[in-house]
Chain A
Amino acid sequence: MISCTEFIPAYSEGFKYIEKAGGRKELEKFWSYLSDLYLKDTLNRLVEEDGLEGCYTYWAHSLNEEAADFKMILDEIKGEFRIDMIKCPSMRMLNELKHIEPHHSYCDHCSALYRPVIERNGYTYKEDVSNCHNASCCVTISLNKEK
């Protein structure tokens, strides 16, 4: 059994395996498959039903369970949900594992998974991943305002 606490390195190695087998295109196909399937009844349903509050509900659950170091703000007045990821639990774990090299574009999977769900529901997804190698990033999901 691969314990859920061992999933992150298994995930990273999975990216390597799929990319080696079918190139970047295949890896993106896998992420798209995962986005459709894994997030269908979770994030997608929550956003459909509760809008930005659904984002808050989803990440409040997952980031707490993953023991992330984060600040999350749901500001319905601004029409914005924002996560300041101070220490991403996944990337932190991969960085701490000295004997294993993370997939070279490990952080790309977040955008590949979440962006389609968010945009499909009529919101915009922006990220700042300039410091993601240090397990730190920022994601902002906003209303797509029609004048």
Chain B
Amino acid sequence: MCFVEYGSTDLKNKVLHLQLFKMMKLKASKGRVKITPSTGTPMAGNVRLDNLSRGVHDDLYCNILILNDGSTKVCLMGFDLIGLEFTTCNEIKNSIDKVTDIPASNIVMWATHTHSGPDTGMRMYQGTENSIKFYLNDLKIRIVDGVVKANSTNEEVTFKAGKAKVSDLSFNRRLVRKDGSVVMNFEEFETNDIVGATGPVDEELITFSVWDKDDKLFALLVNFSLHPAILVGYKWLISRDFINFLDKNIIDNYGNQAITLFANGAEGNINHLNYQDPNQLRSFEETERIGKRMVDYVSDSIRDSSVLEGKIRFISTNVTIPLRKITEEEKSWSEMVLERDKDLVEDLLDGIPDKTYAKMIQGMLIREDKECETVLQGMAINDFAFVTFPGEAYVEFGLMVKKLSRYRNTMVIGLANSSAGYIPLKEAFSQGGYEVRTAWSSQLVHDAGNILVDLIRDKVLNNLLGQSVKIMEKKSSDNKYLHKDFHIAMNMLLTYIHVHFGKDSMIEYLNQFSREYYSPLNQKLKSGDKGALIAYFKDIYEKENWHVNISCKANCVEITQTACPAISHIVKNGGKPCPDYRETYNTVYKRICEDTPFEYFLDYFDDKTGACKQLFVMKEVKL
């Protein structure tokens, strides 16, 4: 390895980086699939009669990152879409499972929630369902193909995670007026009538970065809670919203080999609108401002990053969340509105018109399912983890999960694996506001957030913790003392002495050891006690779980074995017995018999197996 090309200041870092590659082999592969819909596709996040896209400002992508630690493979997929239905996710996952070695359960899919993409999750179609169906069918084919291609490559990488504090990009959009009522920050209000927001924001921006052998950024996962709803149909152009400029600036800073996956957090009540700033724009300039600023924080987070080492721990668990029951009041209201607004066109830039709500309530009244089926997933490596939420959770729930997690950097990835809709705080239902109104985008029971936090704690975080932290506590009495590998170490000790000091030294060592260690046995044998000899051999062979024939004759003890337990273990483990290994019999037992009425004879010994016949003969009656 040549270090000459690196400057002296870089040398230490380079050496450290190379040292990391000696550690456990972590691998990754990546891919990017363009998923821009054709012009004319109905756009999401808007309820407009004419919400068909007029063109493309910037392309939409599904970014793919596959992580592999040699035993666990996880595929992460971030889609520039408003949402992904559970069934769509499952179809894609199952197709990938069939054609790759990635199990369906280890595929994590989420939507970035751009409001300037096709309407894949809101179900606010106005006779445009077929266009979306066509788009989704085509999407499935392209995504599976993209994963297959990505999975065919593999690079050795290092993982890092870090975080930065973001204080100026996200705002809680539920504002409190002086009279205590709640108004959304995209609705009309007098600024001086606002006393603050109903809740906090999540100031953590977390990055999980993947670095190649040359220490170049291979891929980046950015997690931050913020609605990509800056454009919301602006000029009716398809766009990734601020993620477009986030991605572009990451490429400018780190090179175009890097792919960036943006994963939204618990952004249910979080957007970019600062109610104290009346000059905020709805424009591509605003997405650029936010995207660029976010990259500053991404860089801070990367600087804060530390290397992640260890196994990939992963869990995927299917859960169900009860659906909200449509009340009689909601039913009557929807009937009234449909009659009242029968001639009205559904057309609203921000929020949802009453008529659309009413239509959705009617649709929900006839649904057969009573529960929302979804999947919760989590991954951990070292002090980094992520967990998923199936919809748009209020930021408070994300913060709760982070508080419950022992992992230093815990991402909460929202809008993952299904479109379960908004997950508001229970108290928000009495406050009112956009997210709590019953719709396809707000369909779960009022305490769904708490149910999900409990499920994430019990089924995801605790499971990951159980995989990440293992404790074993044993008393000596819990086990039988038998460590056969000591035969291998003993053989190495003998070999070392034999090679470095010669055969005589090895015999000298065996004599020294035997004289010291077997002195109590030697003392017993001095009285001619054959019983002591037999008891000793029975004991050691019993402990070795090894069969030998020990026969006590009138004037001798005879021991025969078809193989030596030590040699057998050495050979079984690919080793070779030390030359003159037989001396562990011959020298040792002669020394045991020294100054006793016994004389030791190694009648025969097979050096390969240790099969032998040994005789301990009373001296006065030599055979």
How far is A1 from B609 in the complex, measured between Cα atoms in Å?
13
Judge whether B476 and A1 touch: CB under 8 Å: no
Find chain A residues with CB under 8 A from B569 CB.
4
Interface residues on A, range: 35 or more
- A-B CB contact pairs (8 Å), 27 listed: A1-B564, A1-B584, A2-B513, A3-B540, A3-B544, A4-B490, A4-B566, A13-B513, A17-B497, A21-B505, A50-B311, A56-B470, A56-B472, A65-B481, A65-B485, A66-B481, A67-B477, A69-B476, A72-B471, A73-B469, A73-B471, A77-B380, A79-B382, A122-B23, A122-B309, A146-B306, A146-B307
Judge whether A10 and B540 touch: CB under 8 Å: no
Find chain B residues with CB under 8 A from A92 CB.
476
Q: How many inter-chain contacts with C-beta < 8 Å in the A-B complex?
A: 207
How far is A70 from B478 in the complex, measured between Cα atoms in Å?
11
How far is A21 from B498 in the complex, measured between Cα atoms in Å?
13
State which of B70, B493, B517, B543 has its C-beta within 8 Å of the C-beta of A49: B70
Asked whether any CB of chain A lies closer than 8 Å to the CB of B157, the reply is no
Q: Give A1-30 as 1s and 0s: 1 = Cβ < 8 Å from B's Cβ atoms.
A: 111111111110110111001100010001
How far is A17 from B309 in the complex, measured between Cα atoms in Å?
42
A42: nearest residue on chain B (CB-CB)? Answer: B485
Q: Which of A43-72 contact B (CB under 8 A)?
A: 48-53, 56, 60, 62-72
Asked whether any CB of chain B lies closer than 8 Å to the CB of A112, the reply is no
Judge whether A51 and B483 touch: CB under 8 Å: no
A76 and B382 contact, Cβ closer than 8 Å, known pairs A51-B23, A99-B516: yes
CB distance from A60 to the nearest CB of B (A): 6
CB distance from A83 to the nearest CB of B (A): 10
Judge whether A4 and B486 touch: CB under 8 Å: yes
Q: Which of A128-147 contact B (CB under 8 A)?
A: 143-147
A51 and B311 contact, Cβ closer than 8 Å, known pairs A17-B497, A63-B474, A143-B382: yes
Asked whether any CB of chain A lies closer than 8 Å to the CB of B367, the reply is no
A51 and B489 contact, Cβ closer than 8 Å, known pairs A60-B472, A77-B383, A146-B307: no
Asked whether any CB of chain A lies closer than 8 Å to the CB of B488, the reply is yes
Asked whether any CB of chain B lies closer than 8 Å to the CB of A116, the reply is no
Judge whether B474 and A70 touch: CB under 8 Å: yes
Asked whether any CB of chain A lies closer than 8 Å to the CB of B480, the reply is yes
State which of A18, A56, A64 has its C-beta within 8 Å of the C-beta of B497: A18
* CB-based closest 3 A-B pairs: A7-B486, A65-B483, A4-B486
Asked whether any CB of chain A lies closer than 8 Å to the CB of B588, the reply is yes
CB distance from B168 to the nearest CB of A (A): 26
Judge whether A74 and B470 touch: CB under 8 Å: yes
Interface residues on B, range: 35 or more
Asked whether any CB of chain A lies closer than 8 Å to the CB of B496, the reply is yes
How far is A67 from B481 in the complex, measured between Cα atoms in Å?
5
Find chain A residues with CB under 8 A from B479 CB.
64-67
Asked whether any CB of chain A lies closer than 8 Å to the CB of B30, the reply is no
Judge whether A69 and B474 touch: CB under 8 Å: yes
Find chain A residues with CB under 8 A from B540 CB.
1, 3, 5-6
CB distance from A99 to the nearest CB of B (A): 6
Q: Which of B298-315 contact A (CB under 8 A)?
A: 305-307, 309-311, 313
How far is A129 from B20 in the complex, measured between Cα atoms in Å?
29
State which of A7, A14, A75, A122 has its C-beta within 8 Å of the C-beta of B22: A122
Asked whether any CB of chain A lies closer than 8 Å to the CB of B492, the reply is yes
Find chain B residues with CB under 8 A from A75 CB.
468-469
New contact pairs (13) apart from A17-B497, A56-B472, CB-CB < 8 Å = A1-B585, A3-B541, A4-B569, A9-B516, A17-B509, A22-B500, A30-B496, A51-B24, A52-B309, A72-B471, A76-B382, A144-B19, A146-B16
Judge whether B490 and A67 touch: CB under 8 Å: no
Asked whether any CB of chain B lies closer than 8 Å to the CB of A115, the reply is no
CB distance from B540 to the nearest CB of A (A): 4
A10: nearest residue on chain B (CB-CB)? Answer: B513
Q: Which of A79-99 contact B (CB under 8 A)?
A: 79, 87, 89, 92, 97, 99
Asked whether any CB of chain A lies closer than 8 Å to the CB of B359, the reply is no
Judge whether B492 and A33 touch: CB under 8 Å: yes
Find chain A residues with CB under 8 A from B380 CB.
76-77
Find chain A residues with CB under 8 A from B486 CB.
4, 7-8, 11
Find chain A residues with CB under 8 A from B509 CB.
13-14, 17
Asked whether any CB of chain B lies closer than 8 Å to the CB of A78, the reply is yes
How far is A48 from B588 in the complex, measured between Cα atoms in Å?
39
Judge whether A17 and B512 touch: CB under 8 Å: yes
A76 and B512 contact, Cβ closer than 8 Å, known pairs A3-B540, A11-B489, A122-B22: no
Find chain A residues with CB under 8 A from B473 CB.
70-72
Find chain A residues with CB under 8 A from B309 CB.
51-52, 79, 122, 143
Find chain B residues with CB under 8 A from A97 CB.
517
Judge whether B472 and A72 touch: CB under 8 Å: yes
Judge whether A48 and B306 touch: CB under 8 Å: no
CB distance from A73 to the nearest CB of B (A): 5
How far is A75 from B592 in the complex, measured between Cα atoms in Å?
48
Asked whether any CB of chain B lies closer than 8 Å to the CB of A110, the reply is no
Q: Which of B529-545 contact A (CB under 8 A)?
A: 540-541, 543-544
CB distance from A84 to the nearest CB of B (A): 9
Judge whether B492 and A37 touch: CB under 8 Å: yes
Find chain A residues with CB under 8 A from B517 CB.
6, 9-10, 13, 97, 100
